[in-house]
Amino acid sequence: MKTRDQILESADQLFYQQGYEHTSFSDIAKAVRISRGNFYHHFKTKDEILHAVIDLRANNTRAMLEEWESGHEDPMARIRCYLQILLTNGSNISLYGCPVGTLSSELAKLDHASQGDAVGIFTLFREWLGKQFSLLGCGSDADALAMHVLAWSQGVATLVNAFPDEAFVLREVNHMCAWLQARVSDPGKAGL
């Protein structure tokens, strides 16, 4: 693997686990086992690494969404794929929170130029979920429903980071699935 890619991979992980600002060049250099100097041959500034990491994450996200889409005909099943991450990636989330949400909120506080790019990853999920709701015939509510699902799952991620508790996540995911079913089969009764 190319050094550049190794840097990117390590930075991606460290930014997630320690936060962007708290991660220094030394941290990344140590992880990749290169010298700090070598570093600058590949990336001129720390911001440049961040930009590349966000780009990487966006591409990975796009690939994942496409996979879910080609793997399931039923839009409901696709949305359930999204909800399942809370369980399959549960241990990371309880340690470090949601990678999308925590980065976006860190950059918001830093007033960082790349915050918009970070939010862009949220947008990928938002539009993808919206599309699924459209396919389910939710037409004009599709985007609102997408935002609702995003918010709900974000909240679960934040809370399980504060109170590590698998049972809580399981309960909420089941609740979300039940709500999804009810909402689609009978929009009136399920609210929103």
Partner DNA sequence: GTCTATACCTGGATAGAC
Partner DNA sequence: GTCTATCCAGGTATAGAC
Task: Note the residues at the interface with a copy of itself (CB under 8 A).
Answer: 17-19, 21-22, 95-97, 101-102, 104-106, 108-111, 119, 122, 126, 144, 147-148, 150-156, 158-159, 161-163, 168, 171-172, 175, 178-179, 182, 189, 191-192
Smaller CB separation from DNA, 111 or 186 = 111
The alpha carbon torsion through 152, 155, 161, 166 (nearest 10 deg) reads -30
Dihedral-angle region of residue 111 (phi above 0 means left; psi in -120 to 50 means alpha; beta otherwise):
left
Task: Report yes or no: 68 and 20 within 8 Å, Cβ to Cβ.
Answer: no
- 5: contact with DNA by CB under 7 A: no
- Pick the piece of the chain touching DNA (CB under 7 A) from 2-10, 67-75, 76-84, 114-122: 2-10
CB of 2 to a copy of itself, least distance (A): 28
Smaller CB separation from a copy of itself, 66 or 165 = 165
CB of 54 to a copy of itself, least distance (A): 13
Per-residue contact string for residues 21-60; x = within reach of DNA by CB under 7 A: --xxxxx------xxxxxxxxx-xxxx-------------
- Structure letter (DSSP) for residue 140: G
Distance CA 15, CA 187 (A): 40
Could you tell me the maximum CA-CA distance found in the chain, to the nearest angstrom?
62
Total of chain residues touching DNA, rule CB under 7 A: 21
- Structure letter (DSSP) for residue 138: -
Smaller CB separation from DNA, 7 or 121 = 7
Task: Report yes or no: 190 and 182 within 8 Å, Cβ to Cβ.
Answer: yes
Per partner kind, with CB cut-offs from 5 to 8 A, the member of a copy of itself, DNA, none near residue 147 is a copy of itself
CA 58 to chain centre: 9
Q: What is the DSSP string of 41-58?
A: HH-SSHHHHHHHHHHHHH
Per partner kind, with CB cut-offs from 5 to 8 A, the member of a copy of itself, DNA, none near residue 68 is none
CB of 116 to a copy of itself, least distance (A): 10
Tokens 């429903």 sit on residue: 145
Question: Which residues of the shown chain bind DNA in the complex (CB under 7 A)?
Answer: 2-4, 23-27, 34-42, 44-47
